[in-house]
Structure 1
Amino acid sequence: MIVVTAAGGATGTAVVRALRDRGEQVRAVVASPRPRPELEALGAEVVAADLTGDPSAALAGADALYLIWPNFDPAEAGGAPAVLRAAARSGVRRLVYHSVLRPQARSMPHHAAKDRVEEALDAVVAGTGARWRVLQPCAYADNLDDAVAAAARSGELRSAWGLERAQSLVDLRDVAEAAAVLLTGDGLDSGTFEAAGPEELTAPDLARLAGAHLGRGVIAVDAAPPADDGSYARRCLRAMFAEYRAHGFTGSPRVLTALLGRPPRTFADHLRGHQRR
């Protein structure tokens, strides 16, 4: 049995799907007991649990855990190690943590939180027999799906990270497949694995590719980041876009290629795949 947390979100659902495609038994942990038809259709056991409380029931009988913490949650730095520790002590032997590319970029609070979780991993498993693995994805190509849909109407692809710096956007399906490899494969313990797409693309590059996909002219437009509303999530978003604007967010696809046994999907591949969903 493999437990996937935050399974109601896009990442969690994609990981559940990738595992079920491999024939694995999956327990999908969600935050509330409302119906989850997509997860149920995949054949997952759906369990509602508050991971900040006692996660033992959600972890019972599990062989592996894929820990996704909710986006932009200030409790991650302390909460994620606590869940991983509870899993290790309850007999879960394979712990895989969903981190982020370059967590050491501490100008972004949500990266800093993940860096602290990674720092705690050796202490978490000490004396338990559990072993850890980490996946560090780049920003998702899927994050631009709404912007591409808007560009189909307006002819403008709005970029809150400016027009000059590049990103190595990764398709979420590839991230989920890599997660499934880390959850089921041997010889990967104590490994930290980057998951970056195969291209370094600026907003104008993305606009050109989106235009070719849409069959119309699309230009990239420099857009303001979201306004500061005082929340932790908005502070993270603004810091993230400032970092991307100053330095971009790129990585090498070599590790992801090795995990997948094939090159990762390009942005054009992503657009074609999204059209078929």
Structure 2
Amino acid sequence: MIVVTAAGGPTGTAVVRALRARGEQVRAVVATPGPRPELESLGAEVVAADLTGDLSPALAGARALYLVWPNFDPREETGAPAVLRAAAQAGATRLVYHSVLRPQLRSMPHHAAKDRVEEALDDAVAGTAARWRVLQPCAYADNLDAQVGAAAGSGRLPSPWGLERAQSLVDVRDVAEAAAVLLTEDGLDSGTFEAAGPQALTAPDLARLAGAHLGREVTAVDVDPPADDGSYARRCLRAMFASYRAHGFTGSPRVLTALLGRPPRTYAEHLADRPRSPRR
């Protein structure tokens, strides 16, 4: 049994799908009880649990864990090591932590939290048979899908990270396939693996590709990031966009290519699998 946390979110669901495609038995841990038709249709066992509470039922019989922590949650720094420790003590021998590309960028609080979780990995497995692995994805191409859909009508692609710096956007399906490799294949223990897309694209580059997909001109527009509302999540978002605006967020696709056994999807290939929204 492989346990996947935050399985109701886009990353967790994609990892569950990739594992089920390999014929693996999967327990999908979600935050709240209730119907989960997408996970259930994949044949996953769905369990509701609080990641900061008693996870004994969720971890029972697990041989591997894929730990995704909910986005922009201030509890990750202390909560994630506790979950990894609980899984190791419960008998799971393979622990894979979903981190982020360049977690050492301490100007972003959510990166700093993941960096500290990575620092805690050895202590989390100490005295057990468990071994850890880390996946470090770049920003997702999927995060722009709603904006591209809206651009079918508006002709505008808003960019809170400006118009000059590039990102190596990665398709979440490629991230999930890489996660499945780390969860099921040998010879990867104690490794940290970057998952970056194959192109460094600025917002105008993305707008051009979106326009080709939509069959209309799309213009990238520099916009302000979301206003500060005092929350941890908003503070993370604003710090993230400030970093992207100053430096971009790019990485090499070579590690992900090696994990997948093929090049990761380009942004055009990502868009090709998305419906074209009608113009409004």
- Do both share a fold (TM > 0.5)? yes
Distance in 2 (CA, whole Å) between partners of 1:149 and 1:223 is 18
CA-CA distance at 1:62 after TM superposition: 0.4
Q: Which structure 1 residue ranges, 4+ long, deviate > 2 Å from structure 2?
A: none
Deviation, 1:275, is: 2.6
1:170-208 superposed Cα distances (whole Å, 9 cap, x missing partner) = 000000000000000100000000000000000000000
**Any residues of structure 2 matched to 1:72-111 within 5 Å, and which?**
72-111=72-111
Unaligned runs of 5+ in 1: none
Deviation of 1:127 (Å): 1.0
The count of residues paired between Structure 1 and Structure 2 equals 276
Q: Match of 2:41?
A: 41
Find the counterpart in structure 1 of residue 165 from structure 2: 165
| SS of aligned partner of 1:275 | coil
Matched letter for residue 218 of structure 1:
V
User: Partner amino acid for 1:156?
Assistant: R
Deviations 1:229-272 (A, max 9, x none): 00000000000000000000000000000000000000000001
Structure 2 counterpart SS, 1:173: helix
Deviation (angstroms), 1:51: 1.5
Deviations 1:145-179 (A, max 9, x none): 01101111100110000000000000000000000
Amino acid at match of 2:188: L
In 2, Cα distance between the equivalents of 1:157 and 1:33? 36
Q: TM-score, normalised by structure 1?
A: 0.99
Within 2, Cα distance between the matches of 1:45 and 1:241?
37
- The residue that corresponds to 1:275 in the other structure is 275
Q: Which residue in 2 is equivalent to 1:220?
A: 220
1:56: Cα distance to partner?
1.0
Residue 24 (structure 1) aligned with residue 21 (structure 2): no
Unaligned runs of 5+ in 2: none
C-alpha separation in 2, matches of 1:59 and 1:89: 10
Distance in 1 (alpha carbons) for counterparts of 2:200 and 2:68:
26
Q: Which amino acid aligns with 1:187?
A: G
Inter-partner Cα distance in structure 1 for 2:226 and 2:161:
11
SS of aligned partner of 1:240: helix
| Distance in 1 of aligned mates of 2:74 and 2:224 | 24
Q: Distance between the aligned counterparts of 2:173 and 2:183, measured in 1?
A: 15
CA separation in 2, counterparts of 1:88 and 1:187?
19
Q: Residues 130-141 of structure 1: matches in 2 within 5 Å?
A: 130-141=130-141
The one-letter code of the counterpart of 2:14 is: A
Alignment of 1:1-277 (within 5 A): 1-275=1-275
Q: Residue by residue, what CA displacement relative to the aligned partner does 1:112-166 show, whole Å, maximum 9, x if unpaired?
A: 0000000000111111010000000000000000110111110011000000000
Distance in structure 2 (CA, Å) of the matches to 1:265 and 1:221: 25
RMSD across aligned positions (CA): 0.7
Question: Aligned AA for 1:28?
Answer: A
Residue deviations 1:10-67 (CA, integer Å, cap 9, x gap): 1000000000000000000001111100000000000001110111110000000000
Q: Which amino acid aligns with 1:39?
A: L
Distance, in Å, in 1 between the alignment partners of 2:2 and 2:161 is 37
Output the CA distance in 1 between the equivalents of 2:130 and 2:21: 26
Counterpart of 1:105 in 2: which secondary structure?
A: coil
Q: TM-score, normalised by structure 2?
A: 0.98
Question: 2:262 is paired with a residue of what secondary structure?
Answer: coil
- Calculate percent identity across the aligned residue pairs: 85
**Mapped partners of 1:196, 1:181: distance in 2:** 16
The residue identity in structure 2 corresponding to 1:19 is: L
Q: What does the per-residue CA deviation read over 1:93-120, in whole Å, with 9 as the maximum and x for residues that have no partner? A: 0000000000000000000000000000
Task: Give the aligned residue type for 2:145.
Answer: D
**Paired residue type of 1:69:** W
